[in-house]
Chain A
Protein backbone atom coordinates (compact mmCIF):
# COMPACT_ATOMS: atom_id res chain seq x y z
CA UNK A 1 0.00 0.00 0.00
CA UNK A 2 1.17 3.50 -0.79
CA UNK A 3 1.89 5.41 2.36
CA UNK A 4 2.79 9.07 2.74
CA UNK A 5 3.40 11.38 5.67
CA UNK A 6 1.86 14.25 3.73
CA UNK A 7 -0.85 15.95 5.82
CA UNK A 8 -3.56 18.37 4.80
CA UNK A 9 -1.58 21.19 6.44
CA UNK A 10 1.29 20.40 4.08
CA UNK A 11 -1.08 20.51 1.14
CA UNK A 12 -2.25 23.97 2.22
CA UNK A 13 1.41 24.96 2.46
CA UNK A 14 1.93 23.78 -1.13
CA UNK A 15 -1.20 25.59 -2.26
CA UNK A 16 0.16 28.79 -0.72
CA UNK A 17 3.35 28.30 -2.72
CA UNK A 18 1.28 27.80 -5.84
CA UNK A 19 -0.62 30.99 -5.02
CA UNK A 20 2.67 32.84 -4.75
CA UNK A 21 3.78 31.50 -8.14
CA UNK A 22 0.54 32.75 -9.69
CA UNK A 23 0.76 36.12 -7.91
CA UNK A 24 4.34 36.79 -9.04
CA UNK A 25 3.49 35.69 -12.59
CA UNK A 26 0.32 37.79 -12.77
CA UNK A 27 1.99 40.99 -11.53
CA UNK A 28 5.09 40.54 -13.71
CA UNK A 29 3.20 39.63 -16.87
CA UNK A 30 0.81 42.56 -16.37
CA UNK A 31 3.51 45.21 -15.86
CA UNK A 32 5.83 43.57 -18.38
CA UNK A 33 3.16 43.54 -21.07
CA UNK A 34 2.31 47.22 -20.53
CA UNK A 35 6.01 48.11 -20.77
CA UNK A 36 6.41 45.83 -23.77
CA UNK A 37 3.53 47.54 -25.60
CA UNK A 38 4.98 50.99 -24.85
CA UNK A 39 8.47 49.95 -26.00
CA UNK A 40 7.16 48.07 -29.05
CA UNK A 41 5.10 51.08 -30.24
CA UNK A 42 7.96 53.48 -29.48
CA UNK A 43 10.32 51.35 -31.51
CA UNK A 44 7.94 51.53 -34.47
CA UNK A 45 7.73 55.32 -34.13
CA UNK A 46 11.41 56.06 -33.50
CA UNK A 47 12.91 53.49 -35.86
CA UNK A 48 15.62 50.98 -34.98
CA UNK A 49 18.49 53.49 -34.81
CA UNK A 50 17.06 55.96 -32.28
CA UNK A 51 15.65 53.06 -30.30
CA UNK A 52 19.01 51.19 -30.26
CA UNK A 53 19.93 52.13 -26.64
CA UNK A 54 16.67 50.65 -25.34
CA UNK A 55 17.12 47.58 -27.55
CA UNK A 56 20.58 47.11 -26.06
CA UNK A 57 19.31 47.30 -22.48
CA UNK A 58 16.38 44.97 -23.17
CA UNK A 59 18.73 42.53 -24.89
CA UNK A 60 20.71 42.21 -21.65
CA UNK A 61 17.63 40.81 -19.93
CA UNK A 62 17.48 38.09 -22.55
CA UNK A 63 21.20 37.26 -22.56
CA UNK A 64 21.93 36.93 -18.85
CA UNK A 65 20.52 34.06 -16.76
CA UNK A 66 17.45 35.10 -14.76
CA UNK A 67 19.08 33.70 -11.62
CA UNK A 68 21.96 36.20 -11.98
CA UNK A 69 19.55 39.06 -12.75
CA UNK A 70 17.69 38.31 -9.52
CA UNK A 71 20.86 38.01 -7.41
CA UNK A 72 22.27 41.24 -8.91
CA UNK A 73 19.05 43.19 -8.40
CA UNK A 74 18.81 41.93 -4.84
CA UNK A 75 22.43 42.83 -4.10
CA UNK A 76 22.03 46.24 -5.72
CA UNK A 77 18.90 47.12 -3.79
CA UNK A 78 20.03 45.64 -0.48
CA UNK A 79 23.78 46.18 -0.35
CA UNK A 80 24.37 49.20 -2.59
CA UNK A 81 21.22 51.30 -2.17
CA UNK A 82 20.54 49.88 1.31
CA UNK A 83 16.82 50.01 0.81
CA UNK A 84 14.58 47.60 2.68
CA UNK A 85 12.45 46.25 -0.12
CA UNK A 86 10.78 42.86 0.15
CA UNK A 87 12.03 39.98 -1.98
CA UNK A 88 8.61 39.83 -3.63
CA UNK A 89 9.00 43.39 -4.93
CA UNK A 90 12.50 42.72 -6.26
CA UNK A 91 11.30 39.50 -7.91
CA UNK A 92 8.38 41.31 -9.57
CA UNK A 93 10.60 44.16 -10.77
CA UNK A 94 13.14 41.84 -12.38
CA UNK A 95 10.52 39.53 -13.88
CA UNK A 96 8.55 42.52 -15.24
CA UNK A 97 11.59 43.84 -17.09
CA UNK A 98 12.39 40.30 -18.23
CA UNK A 99 8.85 39.98 -19.59
CA UNK A 100 9.02 43.44 -21.16
CA UNK A 101 12.21 42.48 -23.04
CA UNK A 102 10.46 39.56 -24.73
CA UNK A 103 7.12 41.33 -25.08
CA UNK A 104 8.71 44.25 -26.96
CA UNK A 105 9.81 41.82 -29.67
CA UNK A 106 6.36 40.26 -29.85
CA UNK A 107 4.63 43.65 -30.11
CA UNK A 108 7.14 44.82 -32.70
CA UNK A 109 6.51 41.68 -34.75
CA UNK A 110 2.76 42.15 -34.48
CA UNK A 111 2.84 45.79 -35.59
CA UNK A 112 5.30 44.93 -38.35
CA UNK A 113 2.89 42.31 -39.70
CA UNK A 114 0.23 44.95 -40.40
CA UNK A 115 0.78 45.97 -44.04
CA UNK A 116 2.05 49.53 -44.41
CA UNK A 117 -0.47 50.12 -47.19
CA UNK A 118 -3.37 49.29 -44.87
CA UNK A 119 -2.15 51.86 -42.37
CA UNK A 120 -1.60 54.47 -45.06
CA UNK A 121 -5.11 53.84 -46.32
CA UNK A 122 -6.41 54.48 -42.79
CA UNK A 123 -4.52 57.74 -42.55
CA UNK A 124 -5.74 58.78 -46.04
CA UNK A 125 -9.30 58.28 -44.84
CA UNK A 126 -8.61 60.99 -42.28
CA UNK A 127 -7.97 58.80 -39.26
CA UNK A 128 -5.55 60.23 -36.70
CA UNK A 129 -2.45 58.26 -35.66
CA UNK A 130 -4.27 57.17 -32.50
CA UNK A 131 -7.33 56.05 -34.46
CA UNK A 132 -5.12 54.14 -36.88
CA UNK A 133 -3.47 52.42 -33.92
CA UNK A 134 -6.74 51.72 -32.15
CA UNK A 135 -8.96 50.57 -35.02
CA UNK A 136 -6.52 49.18 -37.60
CA UNK A 137 -3.26 48.08 -35.98
CA UNK A 138 -4.58 46.80 -32.64
CA UNK A 139 -7.03 44.20 -34.01
CA UNK A 140 -4.69 42.97 -36.76
CA UNK A 141 -1.54 42.90 -34.62
CA UNK A 142 -3.31 41.10 -31.77
CA UNK A 143 -4.04 38.16 -34.05
CA UNK A 144 -0.34 37.79 -34.80
CA UNK A 145 0.92 38.51 -31.30
CA UNK A 146 -1.55 36.74 -29.00
CA UNK A 147 -0.33 33.14 -29.50
CA UNK A 148 3.30 34.17 -28.83
CA UNK A 149 2.16 36.27 -25.88
CA UNK A 150 0.46 33.24 -24.31
CA UNK A 151 3.73 31.34 -24.77
CA UNK A 152 5.61 34.19 -23.10
CA UNK A 153 3.23 34.33 -20.13
CA UNK A 154 3.61 30.59 -19.60
CA UNK A 155 7.39 30.94 -19.93
CA UNK A 156 7.39 33.58 -17.22
CA UNK A 157 5.32 31.31 -14.98
CA UNK A 158 7.88 28.53 -15.37
CA UNK A 159 10.80 30.94 -14.91
CA UNK A 160 9.20 32.31 -11.74
CA UNK A 161 10.44 29.07 -10.14
CA UNK A 162 13.76 30.89 -9.78
CA UNK A 163 12.55 33.68 -7.48
CA UNK A 164 13.43 31.54 -4.46
CA UNK A 165 16.89 33.24 -4.58
CA UNK A 166 15.29 36.46 -3.32
CA UNK A 167 13.53 34.67 -0.47
CA UNK A 168 10.15 34.28 -2.10
CA UNK A 169 8.62 30.92 -1.21
CA UNK A 170 6.86 29.92 -4.40
CA UNK A 171 5.67 26.45 -5.41
CA UNK A 172 9.01 24.78 -6.14
CA UNK A 173 10.63 26.23 -3.01
CA UNK A 174 7.76 25.11 -0.78
CA UNK A 175 8.05 21.66 -2.37
CA UNK A 176 11.73 21.65 -1.51
CA UNK A 177 11.01 22.64 2.09
CA UNK A 178 8.57 19.74 2.39
CA UNK A 179 11.09 17.36 0.78
CA UNK A 180 13.64 18.28 3.43
CA UNK A 181 11.12 17.46 6.16
CA UNK A 182 9.26 14.45 4.76
CA UNK A 183 12.07 12.83 2.72
CA UNK A 184 9.71 11.83 -0.09
CA UNK A 185 11.28 13.66 -3.03
CA UNK A 186 9.66 11.77 -5.90
CA UNK A 187 6.08 11.97 -4.64
CA UNK A 188 6.31 15.67 -3.74
CA UNK A 189 8.07 16.61 -6.97
CA UNK A 190 5.36 14.80 -8.94
CA UNK A 191 2.67 16.87 -7.20
CA UNK A 192 4.61 20.05 -7.93
CA UNK A 193 5.22 19.10 -11.57
CA UNK A 194 1.58 18.15 -12.02
CA UNK A 195 0.54 21.59 -10.80
CA UNK A 196 2.73 23.41 -13.32
CA UNK A 197 1.60 21.05 -16.06
CA UNK A 198 -2.11 21.49 -15.30
CA UNK A 199 -1.82 25.28 -15.62
CA UNK A 200 0.58 25.36 -18.54
CA UNK A 201 -0.65 22.56 -20.79
CA UNK A 202 -4.24 23.70 -21.53
CA UNK A 203 -3.12 27.30 -22.10
CA UNK A 204 -0.29 26.18 -24.39
CA UNK A 205 -2.79 24.08 -26.35
CA UNK A 206 -5.16 27.04 -26.52
CA UNK A 207 -2.32 29.20 -27.88
CA UNK A 208 -1.53 26.58 -30.51
CA UNK A 209 -5.21 26.40 -31.43
CA UNK A 210 -5.44 30.18 -31.87
CA UNK A 211 -2.30 30.20 -33.96
CA UNK A 212 -3.69 27.51 -36.25
CA UNK A 213 -7.13 29.06 -36.51
CA UNK A 214 -5.98 32.61 -37.12
CA UNK A 215 -3.31 31.77 -39.64
CA UNK A 216 -5.65 30.10 -42.14
CA UNK A 217 -8.01 32.87 -43.18
Chain B
Protein backbone atom coordinates (compact mmCIF):
# COMPACT_ATOMS: atom_id res chain seq x y z
CA UNK B 1 0.00 0.00 0.00
CA UNK B 2 2.78 2.41 0.89
CA UNK B 3 6.09 2.75 -0.89
CA UNK B 4 7.69 2.66 2.53
CA UNK B 5 8.51 -0.41 4.60
CA UNK B 6 7.77 0.07 8.25
CA UNK B 7 10.49 -1.49 10.41
CA UNK B 8 9.09 -1.35 13.89
CA UNK B 9 11.57 -3.91 15.27
CA UNK B 10 14.53 -1.65 14.65
CA UNK B 11 12.81 1.17 16.45
CA UNK B 12 11.44 -0.97 19.26
CA UNK B 13 14.93 -2.31 19.96
CA UNK B 14 15.80 1.26 21.02
CA UNK B 15 12.92 1.45 23.47
CA UNK B 16 15.08 1.11 26.64
CA UNK B 17 17.17 4.12 25.58
CA UNK B 18 14.01 6.10 24.94
CA UNK B 19 12.60 5.18 28.34
CA UNK B 20 15.83 6.49 29.91
CA UNK B 21 15.15 9.69 27.99
CA UNK B 22 11.60 9.74 29.35
CA UNK B 23 13.05 9.61 32.88
CA UNK B 24 15.14 12.72 32.16
CA UNK B 25 12.07 14.41 30.68
CA UNK B 26 10.14 13.69 33.87
CA UNK B 27 13.04 14.91 35.98
CA UNK B 28 13.10 18.27 34.18
CA UNK B 29 9.31 18.58 34.29
CA UNK B 30 9.00 17.77 38.00
CA UNK B 31 11.91 20.03 39.00
CA UNK B 32 10.60 22.91 36.90
CA UNK B 33 7.16 22.42 38.42
CA UNK B 34 8.38 22.38 42.03
CA UNK B 35 10.59 25.45 41.60
CA UNK B 36 7.87 27.04 39.47
CA UNK B 37 5.25 26.66 42.20
CA UNK B 38 7.61 28.15 44.80
CA UNK B 39 8.39 31.10 42.51
CA UNK B 40 4.71 31.55 41.65
CA UNK B 41 3.82 31.79 45.34
CA UNK B 42 6.59 34.36 45.70
CA UNK B 43 5.26 36.30 42.69
CA UNK B 44 1.77 36.19 44.19
CA UNK B 45 3.12 37.61 47.46
CA UNK B 46 4.96 40.34 45.55
CA UNK B 47 1.74 41.23 43.75
CA UNK B 48 -0.16 41.35 47.04
CA UNK B 49 2.51 43.53 48.67
CA UNK B 50 1.76 47.25 48.69
CA UNK B 51 5.15 48.13 47.21
CA UNK B 52 4.96 49.41 43.64
CA UNK B 53 8.40 48.34 42.38
CA UNK B 54 7.88 44.80 43.72
CA UNK B 55 4.48 44.64 42.04
CA UNK B 56 6.01 45.88 38.80
CA UNK B 57 8.68 43.15 38.89
CA UNK B 58 6.07 40.43 39.43
CA UNK B 59 3.74 41.79 36.73
CA UNK B 60 6.59 42.10 34.22
CA UNK B 61 7.64 38.51 34.87
CA UNK B 62 4.10 37.18 34.47
CA UNK B 63 3.36 39.16 31.30
CA UNK B 64 6.62 38.22 29.58
CA UNK B 65 6.16 34.55 30.49
CA UNK B 66 2.62 34.56 29.16
CA UNK B 67 3.08 36.65 26.04
CA UNK B 68 6.20 35.19 24.41
CA UNK B 69 6.76 31.65 23.10
CA UNK B 70 8.28 29.12 25.50
CA UNK B 71 10.90 28.40 22.84
CA UNK B 72 11.93 32.07 22.94
CA UNK B 73 12.28 31.91 26.73
CA UNK B 74 14.53 28.85 26.46
CA UNK B 75 16.63 30.56 23.75
CA UNK B 76 16.94 33.57 26.03
CA UNK B 77 18.12 31.38 28.93
CA UNK B 78 20.73 29.79 26.67
CA UNK B 79 21.90 32.19 23.94
CA UNK B 80 20.64 35.42 25.51
CA UNK B 81 22.49 35.21 28.80
CA UNK B 82 25.59 33.96 26.96
CA UNK B 83 26.09 37.60 25.95
CA UNK B 84 26.88 38.33 29.60
CA UNK B 85 29.49 35.58 29.60
CA UNK B 86 27.21 33.18 31.49
CA UNK B 87 27.14 29.75 29.86
CA UNK B 88 24.61 27.24 31.11
CA UNK B 89 24.47 23.59 30.13
CA UNK B 90 21.50 22.64 27.90
CA UNK B 91 19.89 20.94 30.90
CA UNK B 92 20.14 24.08 33.04
CA UNK B 93 18.95 26.36 30.23
CA UNK B 94 15.96 24.16 29.56
CA UNK B 95 15.13 23.99 33.25
CA UNK B 96 15.41 27.78 33.65
CA UNK B 97 13.29 28.41 30.55
CA UNK B 98 10.48 26.06 31.55
CA UNK B 99 10.57 27.17 35.18
CA UNK B 100 10.29 30.82 34.14
CA UNK B 101 7.29 29.91 31.98
CA UNK B 102 5.66 27.75 34.65
CA UNK B 103 6.05 30.41 37.33
CA UNK B 104 4.38 33.03 35.13
CA UNK B 105 1.37 30.90 34.22
CA UNK B 106 0.98 29.51 37.75
CA UNK B 107 1.12 33.00 39.29
CA UNK B 108 -1.79 33.96 37.04
CA UNK B 109 -3.68 30.82 38.12
CA UNK B 110 -3.03 31.68 41.76
CA UNK B 111 -4.35 35.19 41.19
CA UNK B 112 -7.59 33.71 39.87
CA UNK B 113 -7.77 31.35 42.84
CA UNK B 114 -7.23 34.23 45.29
CA UNK B 115 -10.34 35.96 43.95
CA UNK B 116 -12.39 33.00 45.20
CA UNK B 117 -11.11 33.44 48.78
CA UNK B 118 -12.91 36.21 50.70
CA UNK B 119 -10.79 39.09 52.03
CA UNK B 120 -12.53 38.73 55.37
CA UNK B 121 -10.57 35.55 56.06
CA UNK B 122 -7.27 37.43 56.08
CA UNK B 123 -8.82 40.04 58.33
CA UNK B 124 -10.15 37.36 60.66
CA UNK B 125 -6.66 35.84 60.85
CA UNK B 126 -5.16 39.25 61.55
CA UNK B 127 -7.67 39.89 64.35
CA UNK B 128 -6.63 36.59 65.91
CA UNK B 129 -3.14 38.01 66.27
CA UNK B 130 -1.54 36.47 63.19
CA UNK B 131 0.96 38.51 61.23
CA UNK B 132 0.24 39.26 57.56
CA UNK B 133 2.60 36.48 56.52
CA UNK B 134 1.14 33.99 58.98
CA UNK B 135 -2.38 34.69 57.74
CA UNK B 136 -1.19 34.04 54.18
CA UNK B 137 0.75 30.94 55.11
CA UNK B 138 -1.89 29.22 57.25
CA UNK B 139 -5.20 30.49 55.88
CA UNK B 140 -4.87 31.68 52.29
CA UNK B 141 -2.10 29.49 50.83
CA UNK B 142 -3.68 26.06 51.51
CA UNK B 143 -7.00 27.14 50.02
CA UNK B 144 -5.27 28.81 47.06
CA UNK B 145 -3.30 25.65 46.21
CA UNK B 146 -6.47 23.59 46.51
CA UNK B 147 -8.50 25.81 44.17
CA UNK B 148 -5.62 26.01 41.69
CA UNK B 149 -5.00 22.26 41.73
CA UNK B 150 -6.60 21.53 38.35
CA UNK B 151 -4.79 24.36 36.51
CA UNK B 152 -1.59 23.14 38.18
CA UNK B 153 -2.17 19.68 36.71
CA UNK B 154 -2.59 21.22 33.27
CA UNK B 155 0.61 23.18 33.75
CA UNK B 156 2.43 19.96 34.68
CA UNK B 157 1.29 18.41 31.38
CA UNK B 158 2.52 21.55 29.59
CA UNK B 159 5.86 21.26 31.39
CA UNK B 160 6.29 17.70 30.12
CA UNK B 161 5.41 18.73 26.57
CA UNK B 162 7.75 21.74 26.77
CA UNK B 163 10.77 19.57 27.59
CA UNK B 164 10.77 18.56 23.92
CA UNK B 165 12.00 22.10 23.14
CA UNK B 166 15.31 21.40 24.89
CA UNK B 167 16.64 19.91 21.67
CA UNK B 168 16.93 23.45 20.24
CA UNK B 169 19.61 24.34 22.79
CA UNK B 170 21.50 21.09 22.30
CA UNK B 171 19.85 18.91 24.93
CA UNK B 172 20.21 15.25 23.90
CA UNK B 173 19.40 13.27 27.02
CA UNK B 174 15.64 13.90 27.23
CA UNK B 175 13.05 11.83 25.34
CA UNK B 176 12.97 14.10 22.29
CA UNK B 177 16.75 14.49 22.21
CA UNK B 178 17.32 10.74 22.49
CA UNK B 179 14.78 10.11 19.74
CA UNK B 180 16.46 12.60 17.46
CA UNK B 181 19.90 11.08 18.04
CA UNK B 182 18.52 7.60 17.32
CA UNK B 183 16.89 8.99 14.19
CA UNK B 184 20.27 10.23 13.00
CA UNK B 185 21.67 6.74 13.54
CA UNK B 186 18.90 4.59 12.07
CA UNK B 187 16.86 6.97 9.89
CA UNK B 188 13.57 5.34 10.99
CA UNK B 189 12.02 8.79 11.52
CA UNK B 190 8.38 7.82 11.48
CA UNK B 191 8.65 4.73 13.68
CA UNK B 192 10.90 6.35 16.29
CA UNK B 193 8.86 9.51 16.65
CA UNK B 194 5.62 7.52 16.72
CA UNK B 195 6.98 5.58 19.68
CA UNK B 196 8.09 8.82 21.35
CA UNK B 197 4.57 10.20 20.79
CA UNK B 198 3.04 7.14 22.46
CA UNK B 199 5.39 7.52 25.45
CA UNK B 200 4.46 11.20 25.78
CA UNK B 201 0.79 10.31 25.54
CA UNK B 202 1.11 7.70 28.30
CA UNK B 203 3.03 10.13 30.54
CA UNK B 204 0.37 12.82 30.19
CA UNK B 205 -2.42 10.31 30.86
CA UNK B 206 -0.64 9.09 34.00
CA UNK B 207 -0.33 12.70 35.18
CA UNK B 208 -3.98 13.62 34.59
CA UNK B 209 -5.37 10.37 36.01
CA UNK B 210 -2.96 10.46 38.96
CA UNK B 211 -3.91 14.05 39.71
CA UNK B 212 -7.59 13.15 39.62
CA UNK B 213 -6.94 10.31 42.06
CA UNK B 214 -4.94 12.55 44.42
CA UNK B 215 -7.61 15.25 44.19
CA UNK B 216 -10.41 12.88 45.11
CA UNK B 217 -8.37 11.70 48.12
CA UNK B 218 -7.14 15.07 49.30
CA UNK B 219 -10.13 17.26 48.71
CA UNK B 220 -13.01 15.14 49.89
CA UNK B 221 -15.07 16.84 52.51
Contact residues of A with B, CB < 8 Å?
A: 60, 63-69, 71-72, 75-76, 79-82, 154, 158-159, 161-162, 172, 176, 179, 184-186, 189-190, 192-193, 196-197, 200-201, 204
Given A68-B176, A72-B193, answer yes or no on A196-B164 (Cβ-Cβ < 8 Å): no
- Chain A residue numbers with a CB within 8 Å of B204 are 63
Assuming the A-B contacts A75-B190, A186-B80, A189-B76, are A63 and B67 also in contact, with contact meaning beta carbons closer than 8 angstroms in the complex?
Answer: no
Whether A158 pairs with B68 at a CB distance below 8 angstroms is: yes
Question: Is B124 positioned at the interface, with any CB of A under 8 Å from its CB?
Answer: no
What CA separation (Å) do A121 and B161 show in the bound complex?
A: 45
Return the CB mask of B146-184 against A: 1 if under 8 Å, else 0. 000000000001000111110100000000100000000
CB nearest neighbor in A for B64: A197
Residue contact A65 to B76, C-beta cutoff 8 Å = no
Stretch of B33-41, B128-136, B195-203 with 4 or more beta carbons under 8 angstroms from chain A: B195-203
The A/B interface has a contact count, at CB < 8 Å, of 104
A66 with B161: CB separation less than 8 A: yes
Q: Is the CB of A196 within 8 A of B68?
A: yes
Contact of B69 among A64, A75, A76, A159 (CB under 8 A): A159
The distance in angstroms between the C-alpha atoms of A79 and B72, with both chains bound, is: 30
Decide yes or no whether B49 CB sits under 8 A from chain A: no
Q: What distance in Å separates the Cβ of B125 from its nearest Cβ neighbour in chain A?
A: 28
- A116, B162: Cα distance in complex, Å: 39
Which residues from chain B sit less than 8 Å from chain A, CB to CB?
2-4, 63-64, 66-72, 75-76, 79-84, 157, 161-165, 167, 176, 189-190, 193-194, 196-197, 200-201, 204-205
Most chain B C-beta atoms within 10 Å of own C-beta, residue among A176, A184, A193: A193
**Interface residue from B64, B84, B163, B189 paired with A79 (Cβ < 8 Å):** B189
Q: Chain A contacts of B82 at CB under 8 A?
A: 185
A200's contact among B68, B70, B83, B165, by CB below 8 Å, is which? Answer: B68
Q: A63-B200, A63-B204, A158-B69 are in contact. List 19 more A-B contacts (CB 8 A).
A: A60-B197, A64-B201, A65-B162, A67-B164, A68-B197, A72-B194, A75-B190, A159-B69, A161-B69, A162-B71, A172-B75, A185-B75, A185-B83, A186-B80, A189-B75, A189-B76, A196-B69, A200-B66, A200-B67
**B71 pairs with A68, CB closer than 8 A:** no
Q: Which of A72, A154, A161, A189 contacts B79 (CB 8 A)?
A: A189
Chain A residue numbers with a CB within 8 Å of B75 are 172, 176, 185, 189
Contact for B197 among A64, A158, A190, CB less than 8 A: A64
- Determine the distance from Cα of A66 to Cα of B72 in the docked complex, in whole angstroms: 15
- State whether A75 touches B193 (Cβ < 8 A): yes
* Cα separation A186 to B81 with both chains bound (whole Å): 7
- For the complex, what is the distance from the CA of A80 to the CA of B188, rounded to whole Å? 11
Q: Is the CB of B2 within 8 A of A197?
A: no
- Asked, given contacts A79-B190, A158-B70, whether A63 binds B157 with beta carbons under 8 Å apart, the answer is yes
CA distance A173 to B167 in the complex (A): 14
Please, how many angstroms separate the alpha-carbon atoms of A210 and B190 in the complex?
A: 43
Q: Is the CB of B193 within 8 A of A197?
A: no
